[in-house]
Amino acid sequence: MSANEDQEMELEALRSIYEGDDSFRELSPVSFQYRIGENGDPKAFLIEISWTETYPQTPPIISMNAFFNNTISSAVKQSILAKLQEAVEVNLGTAMTYTLFEYAKDNKEQFMENHRPFHSTTSISNMISVETPSTAPSSKKKDKKEQLSKAQKRKLADKTDHKGELPRGWNWVDVVKHVSIFKISFTSFSSLHPQFYIFFF
């Protein structure tokens, strides 16, 4: 009998045996899941078995990567898979999917004896590290105006007219000073370096 014929017969048997069983799920004609334990049971886990083209003459692929198992540590998963692989070797060449599922059911407590549930995802409250301020935002506080010294006030008063406005051209003196300094500096530079005098003018 060919591998395909063996698989067809085993598929029919699995559908018949697990008909109406909520723990069993057929993902495809060659891939199956079975939940060991009831929903809500902290020691429940999910096994996935997939057949290769040459199964049952070659071992099936057994996985525990389903999201259902996200609270089970890698060490416990590896331990379960190792025990299931031992059962595979004993049953190699025969239809073993039902046997493996039942073996896991019978040994559930032993398989999960070292299981300590943990949460693989961090809760939202732990992810948010920013604390809510207990005081009112500083933006609501009135901005303090810069305080001027008496000398600064006097200097400002001297520059303003009777309306408190600065007269037009009040700061031109500074501009004239800078231009004068530039002329003096440039004249000194051009006398020392006459070749640059022509370049600038």
pTM of the model: 0.57
pLDDT at 178: 53
H/E element, 15: helix 3-17
pLDDT at 199: 46
- C-beta of residue 66 within 8 angstroms of C-beta of residue 46: yes
pLDDT at 201: 43
- C-beta of residue 161 within 8 angstroms of C-beta of residue 168: no
pLDDT at 149: 73
10-residue averages of pLDDT along the chain (201 residues): 85 96 96 94 95 96 95 94 96 96 95 78 39 47 61 67 60 55 54 51 43
Exposure string (b/e) for 123-132, b if CB count within 10 Å is 16 or more?
Answer: eeeeeeeeee
pLDDT at 175: 53
pLDDT at 24: 97
